[in-house]
Structure 1
Amino acid sequence: MEQAGPERDGVRARARRRRWPWLLTVVVTLGAAVGAAVLLARPWEDVPPTMRPAVVPAEGRSVSVDFGIVTDPGTDWAAIDRRLDAAGANGVDLNAGRVEFTAFDWPAHPEVAAEPGSDHLSRAARALQRTAGGTPREIGLIVDAYVPEWIKADPSIAGVSANGTRSPYRASASQLARGEVGDRLVEYVTALGERYDPSRIAVTELFLNFYSFGDDDLALYREMTGADDWPRDADGQIDDEDPGLGTWRSEVLAGLLARMRTGLDGVRDGQGAQIELAMDVRVDWDDPASGLPSSGHDYRILLRSADRLVVWTYVGAKARTPADVERLTGSLEAAGFDMSRFTMSVGLWAASADADPPLAISPERMAATLEAADTHGVVDVNVTPLSHLSAAHWATLDQVWGGAAPSGSAGRGG
């Protein structure tokens, strides 16, 4: 028989009290499981942080980070951040990889991710985006133009030398100008600009010396110059030093840069126009202001499309001296270049670049080269790569750069 109202309500209340501990246990257990899953996945680390500060430093002092360090899950970014703080570095450049091997999941080509499911660029930038004093750091990204795996799969895209040898790393001029490789490079630069909004994107390992003589390149050369054949010497051999050839190569690369610039201008509802497009360039130490047209690096032609040139002031590989570096900056200034559009990148590689472990120039030579690079109106200096910075190099860098990040200003142009 059904119980009376008050008594029945008491039974129900006791039943509810008996259920509450069980429900609470379930809720707590589920909450802990969800929380553990979130902590394990750490989704906030894959949300791109701010990379481009609103105020540009008057003087840029940056360090470039190798791709291997960027993508290593064991990299101690907090320790690197402390090193940068101690050195007064207000910028850092992260290697984003190649179109065939990326540091994050590229939605258009997810199969090329170095570690699927991990955004190494976001994690690095999150740790490095501010100095200890709270000032935003400029964070740039580096795109390596080499395509060795693509060439292995499809040798026809490779550049070809005058004797018919195919490059194991570089695409042909026609591929860069009209082919799938150039299209993919433009697509990658644009995707990086859209996703990360970095201070700048620099394209490295982009040159056309030696490997630009395939049949497809000859067709492109004829179309662009109106010539019937390659320039040749008195013996009928291709004249690789012909000035017209260097101009053509530079125009090919400038055309590729122009497409990248257009791509960046269109991202983030037009805000991508504020992202600098840079290109690494070689030096003709005998005639520094000319650039190196034989590699496609005529500075004046490239600066029509690029906002900035990152000059390889590498004194170890070719046994150059700090005096050579100061002569380089002086030549550029004397030639009338806008010096705010150059970054002097001091490479730490020693002459024996293939040594294991790799050899670096001495801290003293690095210091002298940095001081020489920071002359004749240069306002942006870089050290590369981070993997070659020993404790002694860091200590020297602290002394050269003063151990405090330069103050912000809108004075450095792009």
Structure 2
Amino acid sequence: MVLALAAAVGAAVLVARPWQDVPPTMRPAVAPEEERSVSVDFGIVTDPGTDWAAIDRHLDAAGANSVDLNAGRVEFTAFDWPAHPDAAAEPGTDHLSRAARAVREGPDGTPRQIGLIVDAFVPEWIRADRSIAGVAADGSSRSPYRASASQLATGEVGDRLVEYVTDLGERYDPSRIAVTELFLDHLSFGDDDLALYREMTGADDWPRDAGGEIDEDSPELGAWRSEVLAGLLARMRAGLDGVRGGQGERIELAMDVRVDWDDPAAGVPSTGHDYEILLRSADRLVVWAYVGQDRTPAEVEGLTAALEEAGYDMSRFTVSVGLWAGAADADPPQAITPGRMAETAEAAGTHGVTDVNVTPLSHLSDAHWAAFAELWGPSSAPGSVSPSPPG
């Protein structure tokens, strides 16, 4: 009977595979004083052929103590989402757990911070229902990727985004959840958006110029757009606060934001990225210091200096160094040089910024990893860089 019981228990363990099915802890008890992170593309996260051991070795050599994994969109997820099973990129596979297990520790056994990224675009949803898309001021076009302001504020898209962020917090307990591609611009003028604008501001109509045309760049619209996004973030924050018996309040809620290089401390209110307004709801802003071919590391340091001079709490900013040198979808990828990347990353960590990110991992070549090893890693790291992981 004992043998039969042992056999039954063994069979149950094999079926349950708890080491595979139970998501690992993604948030260490103590956060590093200075965070150096790399963001991993959704395509790499969900690719069954990704060599996570090679990526882990790169992270070790580069001195990265944090990793951000792209969890996907509400319509295309990196794991089985019980509430919306049709969204899974690969049903039956939890790609986030697999990735987290592979990169969860540094070379000395110190736990890495692991964050998740949520992409707010909903292109498939819009193809199925064009009414949810943002609309141009003249009504001539709709956004192929972005939901309307009213959808984000009171509609099903906003509700689904809140649900997704909350469920990620409950399931994975990450260090941080960052929402990207969340902005409003010149495609936020539908009739439902006007009704929302009237309700939120008390105005009778859109701001208009002397000729009677909608003033699409008016400060009033920028403040309104920012308040819409801040309201959505506040709902996400409330959702996270309630997960894991209240322990979810320790999960940081972040949002990616654009930069006005002519007035860096102001944010970009015209797209809903007024930093001051957003920081009322978000714990952290991830600032896109994407230099490409047009910006310089000196301008990135100018950005951090402007934020400090404006009196912001610099611990609430991540400066993200984007590697794109050409179109984001270029094939093969076009990346800034390793030297330019290293100089920009060094400039990003100035004037009180303690959190620097590099994105995306798919653009990191052997030479880029070696540059990071020299900048952030131990002195012996350049000689230990292994072959680059698949992109």
TM-score by length of 2: 0.93
User: Separation in 2 of the partners of 1:403 and 1:292?
Assistant: 38
**Once the 2 structures are TM-superposed, how far is the Cα of residue 276 of structure 1 from its aligned partner?**
0.1
The 3 A distance-change label for structure 1 pair 46 and 239 is same
**Once the 2 structures are TM-superposed, how far is the Cα of residue 355 of structure 1 from its aligned partner?**
2.6
Look up the SS of the partner of 1:309 in the other structure.
strand
Deviation digits for residues 311-348 of structure 1, max 9, x if unmatched? 000000x6111111011000000000000000000000
Note if 1:106 corresponds to 2:81. yes
Look up the SS of the partner of 2:334 in the other structure.
coil
Note if 1:115 corresponds to 2:90. yes
The aligned counterpart of 2:386 is none
Q: Residue 313 of structure 1 aligns to which amino acid in structure 2? A: A
The aligned counterpart of 1:86 is 61
**Once the 2 structures are TM-superposed, how far is the Cα of residue 240 of structure 1 from its aligned partner?**
1.5
Look up the SS of the partner of 2:70 in the other structure.
strand
CA contact (8 A) 1:45 1:126 kept: no
2:99 to 120, 124, 128: 124
Residue segments in structure 2 that go unaligned for 5+ positions in a row = 380-391
Look up the SS of the partner of 2:71 in the other structure.
strand
**Once the 2 structures are TM-superposed, how far is the Cα of residue 235 of structure 1 from its aligned partner?**
1.7
Q: Using the TM superposition, name which of 232-241 and 244-253 deviates more.
A: 232-241
Q: Residue 147 of structure 1 aligns to which amino acid in structure 2? A: V
The aligned counterpart of 2:170 is 194
**Once the 2 structures are TM-superposed, how far is the Cα of residue 233 of structure 1 from its aligned partner?**
1.2
1:311 to 274, 287, 301: 287
Note if 1:371 corresponds to 2:311. no
Structure of greater Rg: 1
Q: Residue 72 of structure 1 aligns to which amino acid in structure 2? A: D
The aligned counterpart of 2:124 is 149
Deviation digits for residues 178-229 of structure 1, max 9, x if unmatched? 0000000000000000000000000000000111100000000011011111
Q: Residue 202 of structure 1 aligns to which amino acid in structure 2? A: A
1:221 to 177, 197, 202: 197
Look up the SS of the partner of 1:277 in the other structure.
strand
Look up the SS of the partner of 2:96 in the other structure.
helix
1:393 to 354, 365, 368: 368
Q: Residue 194 of structure 2 aligns to which amino acid in structure 1? A: L
Q: Using the TM superposition, name which of 199-208 and 154-163 deviates more.
A: 154-163
Note if 1:203 corresponds to 2:179. yes
User: Separation in 2 of the partners of 1:355 and 1:77?
Assistant: 24
The aligned counterpart of 1:172 is 148
The 3 A distance-change label for structure 1 pair 315 and 281 is same
CA contact (8 A) 1:323 1:372 kept: yes
**Once the 2 structures are TM-superposed, how far is the Cα of residue 174 of structure 1 from its aligned partner?**
0.1
User: Separation in 2 of the partners of 1:199 and 1:403?
Assistant: 24
The aligned counterpart of 1:272 is 248
**Once the 2 structures are TM-superposed, how far is the Cα of residue 43 of structure 1 from its aligned partner?**
5.0
Look up the SS of the partner of 2:356 in the other structure.
strand
User: Separation in 1 of the partners of 2:309 and 2:356?
Assistant: 19
Percent identity of equivalent pairs: 79
User: Separation in 2 of the partners of 1:130 and 1:238?
Assistant: 53
Q: Residue 137 of structure 1 aligns to which amino acid in structure 2? A: R
The aligned counterpart of 1:57 is 32
Deviation digits for residues 371-394 of structure 1, max 9, x if unmatched? 111100000000000000000000
The aligned counterpart of 2:387 is none
CA contact (8 A) 1:128 1:137 kept: yes
User: Separation in 2 of the partners of 1:99 and 1:109?
Assistant: 9
The aligned counterpart of 1:347 is 322
**Once the 2 structures are TM-superposed, how far is the Cα of residue 275 of structure 1 from its aligned partner?**
0.1
Q: Residue 188 of structure 1 aligns to which amino acid in structure 2? A: Y
The aligned counterpart of 2:388 is none
CA contact (8 A) 1:85 1:403 kept: no
- Taking the TM superposition and a 5 Å limit, the aligned residue runs for 1:289-328 are 289-316=265-292, 319-328=294-303
2:234 to 258, 261, 264: 258
Q: Residue 145 of structure 2 aligns to which amino acid in structure 1? A: Y
CA contact (8 A) 1:319 1:351 kept: no
The aligned counterpart of 1:333 is 308
**Once the 2 structures are TM-superposed, how far is the Cα of residue 46 of structure 1 from its aligned partner?**
2.5
**Once the 2 structures are TM-superposed, how far is the Cα of residue 149 of structure 1 from its aligned partner?**
0.3
Look up the SS of the partner of 1:169 in the other structure.
strand
User: Separation in 2 of the partners of 1:76 and 1:356?
Assistant: 21
Aligned positions, number: 375
